[in-house]
């Protein structure tokens, strides 16, 4: 719609905003009218109309099989559009049009904003299935007529009341029509069923909806006056009412076809099961986070016990082995700590990598600087945990064997994500400028425990590849190539 309006019309940004607000609401008008809606806007030179939006009803058959958006029509070809635009009134004159042997009643509703007519809504009703209307259909049509008059007067949609139509109640979910005093004139079967779910034992018609709703909802005081006001439809609001029987979502729409409130339309939906499932998910998420938190605490306890044992160890070799175990346990604890703060089983691994680098850098034998470049991005938990251990082992190996005591140098960890969304890959390079690999060293056969852990995790759990080669110039380069899930 933005492109069509800017390309063909002289409307400004504030006018376009109003049209967007209208289009976000007009499913309501379409469903109440049992009609298709097409929004026509005059072109910049005033000689034609361009259709910028279209809506089909959920309550009846469509009168347009084809998409009308983008069509241009010369002025004069559709007299009802001309009359509505020029005179600023709803135009219903004329005989039905025949489209593919289907009679269609066409009406034109001017779209007004701050005294100016921005465009015209063509309301097209398929008359092929017309029958004697029921009470529900008559209420729908009367409500649609009131909304159409409000659009023509510029009082609908309500400024600052952007509605998410995917989450808000729709006409078919349940509808209640109130008079100016808030008394129910009509309640659809679905609307009545929703109130029965809350505990209402009688009919709604003739009852004051605000007071009835407040009596059904649990409250500390005798009557919740705020709820009475909301459910009476005095202002455009969306709210929920919950009691032991269930939860209903309500949306109040004041009806002011001639500038004076004559009543209200209340759309409502039973969302009891939806809210129950949401609570279950929240409980599940909280439980998972608590599990990660407890695992992290247990791992930190294990690390503390290993440290105590290392201090009592007389053998330097044994003490170093226990310290290595402490770092391995610590890398896993970091992942679980991050997972305990998330709502899902995916983590931003850059933070984990930085903490692992800082933890391993504590064993640096000299003035060795560790740094990270690039971005790991968001990874699944089943990838993050073994990758944290792999990164710990590779860094630990570089700091222990690449530099002598007191030697300065650099260890750089770089990460690059690439590939298509279906086959995304993470390429990790850990490069040092130390003494390099011993002559004849084969990383695939080395008996070092750390390298064995790296090979097992990378090739087994991560389904990736691991290589260790001399770095260009000086030092050693470790390359890890791991398949990952694309970021969302």
Strands (E), 215-282: 237-243, 246-255, 263-270
Query: What's the pLDDT score for residue 117?
Result: 95
Low-confidence ranges of the chain (pLDDT < 50): none
Query: What's the pLDDT score for residue 246?
Result: 86
Instruction: Give the DSSP letter of residue 461.
Output: I
Instruction: Report yes or no on whether pTM surpasses 0.75.
Output: no
CA distance 76 to 209: 48
Strands (E), 340-391: 346-348, 368-374, 378-380
Assess contact for 249 and 240: CB atoms under 8 A: yes
Query: What's the pLDDT score for residue 165?
Result: 66
Which residues neighbour 245 within 8 Å (Cβ) at sequence distance 6 or greater?
197, 198, 199, 272
Q: At 74, which helix (H) or strand (E)?
A: strand 72-74
Q: At 449, which helix (H) or strand (E)?
A: helix 449-455
Here the tokens at position 174 are 């349940």
Query: What's the pLDDT score for residue 51?
Result: 96
The SS3 of residue 462 is coil
Here the tokens at position 256 are 């002011």
Q: Are strands 368-374 and 409-418 parallel, antiparallel or unpaired?
A: parallel
Query: What's the pLDDT score for residue 32?
Result: 95
Query: What's the pLDDT score for residue 364?
Result: 65
Instruction: Give the DSSP letter of residue 260.
Output: S
Assess contact for 375 and 470: CB atoms under 8 A: no
Query: What's the pLDDT score for residue 64?
Result: 85
Query: What's the pLDDT score for residue 162?
Result: 67
Residue 97 exposed, middle or buried by CB count within 10 Å (0-12, 13-18, 19+): middle
Residue 456 exposed, middle or buried by CB count within 10 Å (0-12, 13-18, 19+): middle
């Amino acid at each position: 719609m933005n492109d069509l309006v800017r390309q063909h019309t002289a409307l400004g940004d504030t006018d376009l905003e109003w049209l967007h607000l209208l289009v976000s609401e007009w499913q309501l008008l379409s469903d109440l009218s049992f009609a298709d809606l097409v929004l026509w806007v005059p072109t910049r030179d005033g000689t034609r109309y361009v259709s910028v939006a279209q809506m089909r009803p959920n309550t009846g058959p469509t009168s347009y099989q084809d998409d009308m958006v983008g069509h241009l029509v010369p002025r004069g070809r559709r007299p009802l559009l001309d009359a509505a635009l020029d005179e600023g009134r709803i135009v219903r004159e004329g005989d039905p049009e025949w489209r593919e042997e289907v009679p269609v009643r066409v009406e034109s509703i001017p779209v007004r904003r701050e005294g100016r007519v921005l465009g015209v809504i063509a309301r097209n009703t398929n008359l092929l299935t017309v029958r004697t209307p029921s009470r529900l259909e008559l209420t729908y049509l009367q409500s649609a007529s009131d909304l159409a008059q409000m659009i023509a007067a510029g009082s609908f949609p309500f400024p600052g009341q952007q509605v998410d139509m995917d989450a808000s109640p729709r006409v078919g979910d349940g509808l209640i029509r109130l008079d100016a005093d808030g008394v129910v004139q009509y309640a659809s079967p679905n609307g009545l069923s929703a109130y029965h779910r809350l505990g209402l034992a009688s009919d709604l018609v003739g009852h004051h909806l605000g007071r009835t709703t407040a009596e059904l909802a649990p409250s500390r005081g005798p009557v919740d006056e705020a709820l009475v006001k909301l459910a009476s439809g005095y202002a455009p609001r969306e709210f929920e009412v919950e009691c032991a029987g269930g939860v209903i979502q309500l949306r109040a729409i004041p009806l002011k076809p001639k500038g004076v409130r004559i009543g209200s339309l209340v759309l409502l939906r039973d969302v009891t099961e939806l809210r129950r499932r949401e609570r279950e998910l929240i409980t599940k998420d909280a439980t998972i986070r608590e599990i990660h938190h407890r695992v992290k605490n247990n791992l930190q306890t294990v690390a503390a016990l290993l440290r105590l044992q290392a201090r009592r160890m007389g053998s330097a070799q044994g003490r170093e082995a226990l310290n290595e175990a402490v770092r391995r346990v610590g890398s896993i604890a970091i992942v679980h700590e991050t997972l305990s703060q998330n709502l899902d089983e995916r983590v931003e691994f850059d933070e984990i990598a930085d903490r692992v680098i800082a933890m391993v850098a504590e064993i640096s034998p000299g003035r060795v600087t560790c740094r990270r470049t690039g971005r790991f991005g968001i990874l699944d938990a089943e990838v993050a945990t073994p990758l944290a251990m792999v990164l710990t082992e590779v860094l630990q190996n570089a700091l222990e064997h690449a530099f002598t005591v007191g030697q300065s140098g650099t260890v750089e960890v770089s990460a690059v994500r690439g590939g298509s969304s279906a086959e995304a890959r993470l390429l990790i390079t850990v490069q040092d400028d130390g003494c390099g690999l011993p002559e004849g060293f084969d990383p695939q056969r080395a008996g070092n425990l750390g390298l064995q852990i790296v090979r097992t995790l990378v090739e087994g759990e991560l389904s990736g590849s691991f290589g260790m080669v001399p770095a260009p110039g000086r030092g050693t380069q470790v390359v890890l190539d791991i398949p990952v899930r694309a970021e969302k």
